[in-house]
Structure 1
Amino acid sequence: MRSALRHHITSIIVCTALALGFAALYVVNLPYTYTSSAVVLLAPAPGNPLTAEAASGSGTQTTVAMSTEAELVRTSAVRDIVADTLGRLAPDGRERLEVTIPTNTQMLEISFTSRTAKQAQEAAQAFAEGYLAFREERATSTQNSQLEALQTQIDAAEANLRRATSEAASAGTGSFASQEVQLYTDRLAQLSTSRSAAEALNTAPGSIIAPAVEPAGANELPEWVYFVAAAALGMLAGIAFALLREWRRDLVRDTNAAAEMDVAVFSTVPSPGSTLVKDTADDGTEHEAYRRLRAAVVANGPAPHILAVAGVEDESSWGIASNLAVVLAEAEFSVALIAADMSSAPSQDPLGIGRHRGLADSAGEVAAAREFLVETRGVNVLTAGLDTAGARDLTASPAFRAIVNSLHEDFDFVVIAAASAGSAEGDAALLASDSVLLILTSDRTKRARLNAALERFDRLGIDVLGAVKVTTAKAPATHSERSQRPTRTSRNEEMNPKYARARR
Structure 2
Amino acid sequence: MWVVTAILALLGASLGFAVGHTAPRAQTASTVILVTPLDGNAFYPGTRGEQLVNLTTEAQVLKSDKVAAKVIESTEQGSDPVSLLRQLTTTVPPNTQLIEIAFESNDPDAAVLGAQAFADAFLEFRSDQAASHLEGQIIGIREEIEKLTANMGELSEQLGKPNITAFERTTLEAQLNAGASQIASLGARESTLATTRIDPGQVVTAASLDRAALLSLRELLVFAGLLAGLGLGMLIMVFMARSNKVLRGVEELKSFGVNALRVLNEAELSGGEAKGSIPTLTRNSPKITQFRSELLGMVQNSNRRVLLIASADDGCDFPLSYNAVADMLASAGLKVLVIDTTGKAVESGNTAKLPGIGEVLAGQSTLAEASQSSNQLLCLIGQGELIKRYENGLSSERLNEFLISAGKEFDAVLVIASDLNLSITQWLVSVIPTVLVEVELGTTKRKDVRAAQNVCVSLAAELRALLIRPVNSPQTRHRPRPDNGRAEHLSTGVSGSKTT
TM-score normalized by the length of structure 1? 0.51
Equivalent residue, structure 2, for 1:392: none
CA RMSD after TM alignment: 5.6
Deviations 1:423-482 (A, max 9, x none): 99xxxxxxxxxxxx9644242642675999xx99999xxx9772479xxxxxxxxxxxxx
**Corresponding residue SS for 2:102:** strand
**Corresponding residue SS for 1:212:** strand
Instruction: State the alpha-carbon separation in 1 of the partners of residues 374 and 198 from structure 2.
Output: 120
**Corresponding residue SS for 2:231:** helix
1:33–1:218 contact (8 Å) kept in structure 2: no
Query: Could you say if the C-alpha distance between residues 457 and 211 of structure 1 is closer, same or farther in structure 2, counting changes exceeding 3 Å?
Result: closer
1:303 aligns with 2:275: yes
Equivalent residue, structure 2, for 1:145: 136
Query: Could you say if the C-alpha distance between residues 312 and 85 of structure 1 is closer, same or farther in structure 2, counting changes exceeding 3 Å?
Result: closer
1:34–1:218 contact (8 Å) kept in structure 2: no
Equivalent residue, structure 2, for 1:313: 313
Per the TM alignment, residue 116 of structure 1 is displaced from its structure 2 partner at its CA by 2.1
Alignment of 1:176-255 (within 5 A): 176-217=171-212, 221-240=216-235, 252=247, 254-255=249-250
Query: Could you say if the C-alpha distance between residues 419 and 51 of structure 1 is closer, same or farther in structure 2, counting changes exceeding 3 Å?
Result: closer
Deviations 1:129-178 (A, max 9, x none): 12212221232232233223322322432343354345436546532312
Output the amino acid matched with 1:446: V
Equivalent residue, structure 2, for 1:466: 470
Query: Could you say if the C-alpha distance between residues 106 and 211 of structure 1 is closer, same or farther in structure 2, counting changes exceeding 3 Å?
Result: same
Deviations 1:295-318 (A, max 9, x none): 8688578622579xx965245689
Equivalent residue, structure 2, for 1:378: none
Equivalent residue, structure 2, for 1:85: 74
Alignment of 1:427-446 (within 5 A): 439-440=440-441, 441-443=443-445, 445-446=448-449
Output the amino acid matched with 2:36: A
Alignment of 1:345-364 (within 5 A): 364=350
Equivalent residue, structure 1, for 2:125: 134
Instruction: State the alpha-carbon separation in 2 of the partners of residues 109 and 133 from structure 1.
Output: 17
**Corresponding residue SS for 1:207:** strand
Deviations 1:44-63 (A, max 9, x none): 2355355462479999xx54
Instruction: State the alpha-carbon separation in 2 of the partners of residues 79 and 87 from structure 1.
Output: 11
Query: Could you say if the C-alpha distance between residues 57 and 133 of structure 1 is closer, same or farther in structure 2, counting changes exceeding 3 Å?
Result: closer
**Corresponding residue SS for 2:23:** coil
Q: Structure 2: any 5+ residue segments left out of the alignment?
A: 280-309, 321-341, 352-369, 376-415, 425-437, 474-495
Query: Could you say if the C-alpha distance between residues 219 and 41 of structure 1 is closer, same or farther in structure 2, counting changes exceeding 3 Å?
Result: farther
Q: Which moved more, 1:296-305 or 1:29-38?
A: 296-305
Equivalent residue, structure 2, for 1:283: none
Instruction: State the alpha-carbon separation in 1 of the partners of residues 150 and 419 from structure 2.
Output: 130
1:107 aligns with 2:98: yes
Equivalent residue, structure 1, for 2:479: none
TM-score normalized by the length of structure 2? 0.51
How many residues are paired up? 342
Output the amino acid matched with 1:466: P
Output the amino acid matched with 2:78: L
Instruction: State the alpha-carbon separation in 1 of the partners of residues 50 and 472 from structure 2.
Output: 91
Identical aligned residues as a percent: 19
Equivalent residue, structure 2, for 1:23: 16
Query: Could you say if the C-alpha distance between residues 68 and 234 of structure 1 is closer, same or farther in structure 2, counting changes exceeding 3 Å?
Result: same
Query: Could you say if the C-alpha distance between residues 190 and 306 of structure 1 is closer, same or farther in structure 2, counting changes exceeding 3 Å?
Result: farther
Instruction: State the alpha-carbon separation in 1 of the partners of residues 99 and 463 from structure 2.
Output: 87
Per the TM alignment, residue 124 of structure 1 is displaced from its structure 2 partner at its CA by 0.4
Q: Which moved more, 1:148-157 or 1:91-100?
A: 91-100
**Structure 1 residue corresponding to 2:41, chosen from 30, 43, 48:** 48
Instruction: State the alpha-carbon separation in 2 of the partners of residues 43 and 464 from structure 1.
Output: 89
Query: Could you say if the C-alpha distance between residues 314 and 32 of structure 1 is closer, same or farther in structure 2, counting changes exceeding 3 Å?
Result: closer
Per the TM alignment, residue 69 of structure 1 is displaced from its structure 2 partner at its CA by 2.9
Instruction: State the alpha-carbon separation in 1 of the partners of residues 38 and 186 from structure 2.
Output: 21
**Corresponding residue SS for 1:210:** strand
**Corresponding residue SS for 1:213:** strand
1:13–1:235 contact (8 Å) kept in structure 2: yes
